Amino acid sequence: MAHIVVVVGMPASGKNFARHYAEENHIPHLTTGDIVRIECASRGLDLTAKNMAKVSDELRGHDPCELTRWLLERVDKEHSLQPMVVLEGMRSWEEVELIRSKFSTTLVAFVTGREIRRERYVARARGDDDPRLFEERENRELEYGTAVPIAMADFYVLNDGTIEETIERFRHVMLMIGATV
């Protein structure tokens, strides 16, 4: 059975380093954001910050664990024989508890100062990142409950330096996790 590494963090904290690490090391990586993007596309919606927020709110509105349930179904069907799977996009403690009820789990939080995150959010210029809506996005993440999984993480990756430093910090954490699974 797969060991799940849950990656959490505020927007622009560096969670994408986990995706890149997973891809480079042939570790399955699934994210709730991908589900939201797929749902937007199926509705014919452009991938704007407002559309992503609306669809995410709708999908999480009636059941905060809905997106995580979808990811866990994919893990069961497609990746259960893998030694490790990386999941990203959990926003609440309920989601972490759901994962932990089904799989051996390690929670890793990427942390970065707010002003650095704001600068990165603006610089990355993704379609679903509107710099004018940074505060709104921050507040929505906090309303989802994102602060609790960050506070309760098993490991932290400080992302306040160079790309190389952050990659090395995450690599070190993954090696520690791998040694314990």
pLDDT tens, 118-142? 888 777 666 555 667 778 888 888 8
Indicate the pLDDT class of residue 57, thresholds 50, 70 and 90: confident
- Is the pLDDT higher at 125 or at 177? 177
* pLDDT on residue 158: 96
What is the C-alpha to C-alpha distance for residues 28 and 63, in angstroms, rounded to an integer? 25
Domains, the chain: 3-180 (3.40.50.300)
pLDDT tens for each residue of 1-50:
889 999 999 988 999 899 999 999 999 999 988 888 888 999 999 888 78
Identify any residues that bridge with 66 across adjacent strands, giving them in sequence order. Answer: none
Cβ neighbours of 88 (radius 10 Å): 23
* pLDDT on residue 51: 86
Enter the DSSP assignment of 132: G
* pLDDT on residue 77: 93
Scored b (16 or more CB within 10 A) or e, 28-46 reads bbbbbeebbbebbeeeeee
What is the C-alpha to C-alpha distance for residues 113 and 159, in angstroms, rounded to an integer? 8
Nearest to 13 by CA among 92, 94, 87, 108: 108
What mean pLDDT, rounded, does the chain reach? 89
CB-CB contact of 22 with 86 (8 Å): yes
Percent of the chain with pLDDT over 70: 93
* pLDDT on residue 5: 97
pTM (global) more than 0.75 = yes
